[in-house]
Amino acid sequence: MKKSLFNAGIIGCGNISSIYCKRIMEFSVLHLAACADLDRAKAEARAAEFAIPRVLSPDELIANPAIDIVLNLTVPKAHFDVARRALEAGKHVYNEKPLCVELADGKSLVKLARKQRRLLGCAPDTFLGAGLQTCRKLIDDGVIGTPIAATAFMMCHGHESWHPSPEFYYQHGGGPMLDMGPYYLTALIALMGPVARVCGSASISFPTRTITSQPKYGTLIPVETPTHIQTVLEFASGACATLITSFDVWAAQLPHIEIYGTLGTLSVPDPNTFGGPVKLFLPGKHDWAEVPLTHGFAENYRGLGLADLACAARDKRPARASGTLALHVLEVMHAAINAGRFGKYIKIKSSCARPDALPAGTNESILNQ
């Protein structure tokens, strides 16, 4: 076994766990010691695929004193309970996005982590990838001047055409904002700072959805949560942004994110990816210019935030993909939905610092700087 400092255990062995397993094995600060799932067959299959030493039940994994960090890859409605029990057991915890479904539960997790003196982290960690870190460096270096506005769009027609069990996307805790909003909001906050207040509109365009994927082809889904949410974000810095998240749009050609500064415009890559392209428009130029990536981790590196959390625990520093950041994102998402429902501005009570930028580099050694 490679020399490692933290034994990680995964709870939830669905599709997303595969890339996490692959990447965890590339970070010397982590050892993938165990996995668990309510469906033991899924855990056994993942253990066989990645030579994970132990298959446990979720309860056994949480109680195991050899596990230092719990990677919580359960469905969103289970995020809170699993994370709470793991923190109470003295583990560091890293959740898949969102932090949890209910805002009050998110606040209690952050409070519990502080009480237990354990780190709480949360996906997405795509903002630590080469594309968004290159954008962060351009902004920090003043290349586009002061950011004054932004636009961001996540437009699709939902997941019932391909996902094997898409029902939860249309139930409370689902919808495009809680599903995909974390990628866009985390990117915007990492680049532009915390959000101060929001307003907007929210609607359910189609009251039911019909599953056209297998194995539930033909099943009718009642839609319980807004599926088209248009939000105006006002940042503490004074900048503003328009964010649209939708499961109601058949097709769109809008950019993922653009940031408008006093000296130029920055085209930001898909925040659900780690790479580029990054494009820049400056006055006096005739066209957009693609900017070479200044940082590493351009491929799918889910688990980068988990590795950073382990280094943070070791070095006694804040984690970049932190629970505080995820809680702020969760509050903004709930405010966006409620602003649409109630037709008013909603002030954001929480705040967070922009996560520390990563130094330019291409491998895990940059996490130690």
Compute the distance between CA of residue 220 and CA of residue 205 in angstroms, rounded to an integer: 15
For residues 179-201, average pLDDT: 98
Least confident of 56-70, 108-122, 327-341, 349-363: 349-363
pLDDT score recorded for residue 364? 72
Q: Calculate the alpha carbon distances from 77 to 53, 105, 124 in Å.
A: 28, 11, 17
Given pLDDT bands bounded at 50, 70 and 90, which one contains residue 158? very high
Indicate the pLDDT class of residue 366, thresholds 50, 70 and 90: confident
Question: pLDDT tens digit string along 247-297?
Answer: 999 999 999 999 999 999 999 999 999 999 999 999 998 899 999 999 999
- The CA distances from residue 187 to 114, 135, 152, 293, in Å, are 25, 10, 10, 16
| Distant-in-sequence, close-in-space partners of 341: CB < 8 Å, separation ≥ 6 | 202, 226
Going by pLDDT thresholds of 50, 70 and 90, the confidence category of residue 361 is confident
Q: How many CB atoms lie within 10 A of CB 299?
A: 12
Evaluate if residue 24 carries a pLDDT over 90: yes
State residue 367's pLDDT score: 80
pLDDT value of residue 362: 64
**pTM assigned to the model:** 0.95
Q: What mean pLDDT value characterizes the chain? A: 96
Cα(230)–Cα(207) distance, integer angstroms? 18
- The domains located in the chain, with CATH, are 6-126+301-320+354-368 (3.40.50.720), 130-291 (3.30.360.10)
pLDDT at 2 over 60: no
| pLDDT band at residue 132 using 50, 70 and 90 as cut-offs | very high
Provide the percentage of residues in the chain whose pLDDT is more than 70: 98
* pLDDT band at residue 4 under the 50/70/90 scheme: low
CB-count burial class (<10 Å; 0-12, 13-18, 19+) for 204: middle
pLDDT recorded at residue 61: 98
Burial of 262 (0-12, 13-18, 19+ CB in 10 A): exposed
- 40 in helix, strand or coil? helix
Work out whether strand 278-281 and strand 265-268 pair parallel, antiparallel, or are unpaired. antiparallel
CB contact set of 241 (below 8 Å; sequence gap of 6+): 149, 150, 151, 152, 188, 192, 232, 233, 235
pLDDT at position 1: 37
Rg for the chain, CA atoms, rounded: 20
CA 21 to chain centroid: 17
Instruction: Name which of 19, 336, 350, 24 is nearest 203 in CA terms.
Output: 336
Measured between alpha carbons, how far is 179 from 172 in angstroms, rounded to an integer? Answer: 11
Band of residue 369 on the pLDDT scale cut at 50, 70, 90? low
